[in-house]
Amino acid sequence: MLRKELGRRLFRHSLGVASMAHRLAGAHGLDQEAAVVAGIWHDYGKAFTPEELREKARAMNLELDEITRLSPPLLHAPVGAALLKQEIGLKDEWILRAVKFHTTGAAGLNGLEKIIYLADAIEVGRRYPGVLSLRHLAMKDVDAALRVVVDNSLQIVLQKGDLLHPDSVAFRNELIMTTRRG
């Protein structure tokens, strides 16, 4: 069903995220089954256009902040999570939160939420300079890998002149502060 909704390319990406999340969860003592479920479904919102997502958010009375509403790349995460709950019947709040925050990140994310964010950026289908060493680093130190991945993704947002979500800034600051405190 998901393959039909997402199309071949995005479905392969979702399997890649599930598989990477499974490996990361294993390496860091987290729930591997939850990691696979969250990984498979994380981009469910991408089955819909931004207009459809805004419409569905309205129909579900889902409150979206202004920046998310005006940023097509951000919309699919929180609306996708809400749709998984309402339409697919996925009830596990910790999995839904991992889906909700996989694009912006946020301060105070737990281990599972962090590895879904990370797996999205380093799954085997991703090809960019440095991705191999990032995969290596991620197995040893999730926060160190996240610092690189978050900076990369914020740089892309800035290059595009796009809106920067405050949750992403809070996520980055928290990662840096954690390192400085030691």
Q: How far is the CB of 123 from Fe ion (least distance, A)?
A: 8
User: DSSP labels for 117-161?
Assistant: HHHHHHSTT---TTHHHHHHHHHH-HHHHHHHHHHHHHHHHHHTT
Q: How far is the CB of 133 from Fe ion (least distance, A)?
A: 21
Six-digit token pair at 138? 């991620």
# binding residues, Fe ion (CB under 5 A): 2
Among 113, 120, 123, 167, binds Fe ion (CB under 5 A): 120
Nearer to Fe ion, 46 or 172 (CB): 46
| DSSP for residue 28 | T
| Binding piece for Fe ion, criterion CB under 5 A, among 26-34, 82-90, 120-128, 136-144 | 120-128
Q: How far is the CB of 86 from Fe ion (least distance, A)?
A: 19
Contact status: 123 vs Fe ion (CB under 5 A): no
Nearby residues of 92 by Cβ (< 8 Å), 6 or more positions away: 34, 37
d(CA 119, CA 17): 5
d(CA 140, CA 23): 11
Nearer to Fe ion, 43 or 113 (CB): 43
Q: Which of 109, 106, 121 is nearest to 39 (CA)?
A: 121
Nearer to Fe ion, 7 or 177 (CB): 7
Q: How far is the CB of 177 from Fe ion (least distance, A)?
A: 26
Nearer to Fe ion, 120 or 167 (CB): 120
Q: How far is the CB of 182 from Fe ion (least distance, A)?
A: 32
**Burial (Cβ within 10 Å: 0-12, 13-18, ≥19) of residue 138:** buried
Distance in angstroms between the alpha carbons of the first and the last residue of the chain: 45
Q: How far is the CB of 146 from Fe ion (least distance, A)?
A: 15
Q: Sketch the per residue contact string, 31 through 70, with Fe ion: x for CB under 5 A, - otherwise.
A: ------------x---------------------------
Q: Which residues bind Fe ion (CB under 5 A)?
A: 43, 120
